[in-house]
């Protein structure tokens, strides 16, 4: 993986994490502010992108393994929504996140 692919993966993870946080209602991460919020978005977006890649490209054969394509982007977004929802539920259950 070259530096350009790494930067693109980080940007995709950040964007997918931000979109996923906007799509998940009442998520526990909205209580964070500043750099913690951005870091959580990026990390969860990257984890979700990996999950989406594994599900869509690895299991279902949708998308391309060598480059970013619509199948990979949609898979990353769906994976990010799943990861944000699960992470939010865990934070709410443990009492760490904001209760709504």
Average pLDDT of 19-30? 73
Torsion of CA 89, 92, 98, 100, to 10 degrees: 80
Token code pair at residue 46: 């990257």
pLDDT band at 67 (very low <50, low <70, confident <90, very high): low
Number of H helices, E strands in the chain: 3, 0
Residue 24: pLDDT over 50: yes
pLDDT at site 58: 74
Is the pTM for the entire model greater than 0.85?
no
In percent, how much of the chain has pLDDT > 70?
Answer: 74
Q: Cα dihedral sign for 83, 15, 69, 65?
A: negative
- State the residue for tokens 């964007």: 15
Return left, alpha or beta for 61; rule: phi > 0 is left, psi -120 to 50 is alpha, else beta.
Answer: left
């Amino acid at each position: 993986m070259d530096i350009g692919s790494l930067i693109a993966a980080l940007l995709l993870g950040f964007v997918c994490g931000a979109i996923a946080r906007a799509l998940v209602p009442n998520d526990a991460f909205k209580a964070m502010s500043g750099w913690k919020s951005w870091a959580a978005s990026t990390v969860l977006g990257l984890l979700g992108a990996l999950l989406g890649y594994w599900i869509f490209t690895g299991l279902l054969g949708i998308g391309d393994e060598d480059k970013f394509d619509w199948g990979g982007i949609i898979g990353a977004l769906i994976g990010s929504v799943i990861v944000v929802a699960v992470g939010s539920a865990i934070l709410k259950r443990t009492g760490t996140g904001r209760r709504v």
